[in-house]
Amino acid sequence: MPAPHSRSFRDGKTLEGELAAAMHRVEAHGVIYPAHYYETLVAKYRKGGVPYPHILTILGEPRILGHFYYKTALQRTGPFLDYGCGTGDNIRQLLRDGFPRDHITGFDLSWESIDLGFDLYRDRDALRDLFVVQDTFPFGEGQFDTIYSGSVIHVIADDAELDGYLANAWRALRHGGVLFGSTLGIEDCDACSPDEHGPPRVSPRSAIVRHMMAAGFAEPAIMVKSHEAHHPGDKKCVFEFCTKKDEKL
């Protein structure tokens, strides 16, 4: 299981403000909310909070869209797994971009973020069948052509768990299959202590490469992007990565 993580918002952000902003972004995708829906959601999520506050702050503008490999991934059209899918924001983007619905699966350890996505997009009945939730990885060998891992690596604190996660991805890909995604990291230092609000793992590039190659993947292509919650003096960044099973990129 991933390490416990903070449910509090940083930088003066609040649940109320971020829910309103997320609803606004989701409305831009054509979702219509009934009267008092916002108040209902605030009351619901005030009780337990949202599992990954940062994900709510970008919900509606999924990170997959800006990924350097995304346009190529859309051409692949074979079975696609979103591994650690959270709210399902990336899956909805694939659907908007015409990726074949029957080739999309979202997997997560918990329904919590997926339910937040259903609440925001009001599409539980329409999309429920795309999601699989289990506390162990349920997929067989060579089942997928492409696997996406968005903001998952940095929530897995334990090295052995991360190696298990990557080994599952490797096994579930067909030969020549692609793993792409992103993780928070740090560009120019060997180690970095997680801060109070940040994720438990802040990897240097070398550690990401090492873990992926230990799982059997080719050396990943990595691009650096700035983090949305970037602070002056903060060396954290987003690493976008892409690697293949058995074949060179």
- Interface with ligand SAM (CB under 6 A), residue from 52, 70, 99, 131: 52
**By CB under 6 A, residue 156 contacts ligand SAM:** yes
Binds ligand SAM by CB under 6 A, chosen from 57, 87, 105, 203: 87
Region of 246 on the Ramachandran plot (φ > 0 left; ψ -120 to 50 alpha; else beta): left
Given the structure tokens 């692609």, which residue do they identify?
178
φ and ψ at residue 232, rounded to 5 degrees:
-60, 135
Pairwise CA distance, residues 65 & 97, whole Å: 10
Where is 132: in which H helix or E strand?
Answer: strand 131-133
3-class secondary structure, 92: helix
| Closest alpha carbon to 189 in 170, 202, 175, 174 | 202
Q: Which of 144, 165, 170, 217 is the binder for ligand SAM (CB under 6 A)? A: 165
The correct pick among 93, 105, 113, 183 for binding ligand SAM (CB under 6 A) is: 113
Q: Is 93 in the site for ligand SAM (CB under 6 A)?
A: no
243 binds ligand SAM per the rule CB under 6 A:
no
Smallest gap from Cβ 217 to ligand SAM, in A, equals: 17
Residue 222 binds ligand SAM, judged by CB under 6 A: no
Figure out which of the listed residues 9, 69, 70, 89 binds ligand SAM, where binding follows CB under 6 A.
89
Q: How far is the CB of 212 from ligand SAM (least distance, A)?
A: 15
Burial of 6 (0-12, 13-18, 19+ CB in 10 A): middle
Whose Cβ is closer to ligand SAM: residue 6's or residue 110's? 110
Q: Does the protein bind ligand SAM through residue 73 (CB under 6 A)?
A: no
Look up residue 43 and give its two tokens: 């009351």
Residues near ligand SAM (CB under 6 A), total: 21
Minimum gap (Å) between residue 228 Cβ and ligand SAM: 12
Give the N- to C-terminal CA distance of the chain in Å, as an integer: 31
**146 lines the binding site for ligand SAM (CB under 6 A):** no
Give the count of beta carbons closer than 10 Å to the beta carbon of residue 179.
27
Residue 67 CB, nearest approach to ligand SAM (Å)? 10
Burial of 241 (0-12, 13-18, 19+ CB in 10 A): buried
Single residue of 60, 150, 198, 220 touching ligand SAM by CB under 6 A: 150
> What's the one-letter identity of residue 73?
A
Which residues would be at the binding site for ligand SAM (CB under 6 A)?
2, 52, 55, 63, 83-87, 89-90, 108-110, 113, 150-152, 155-156, 165
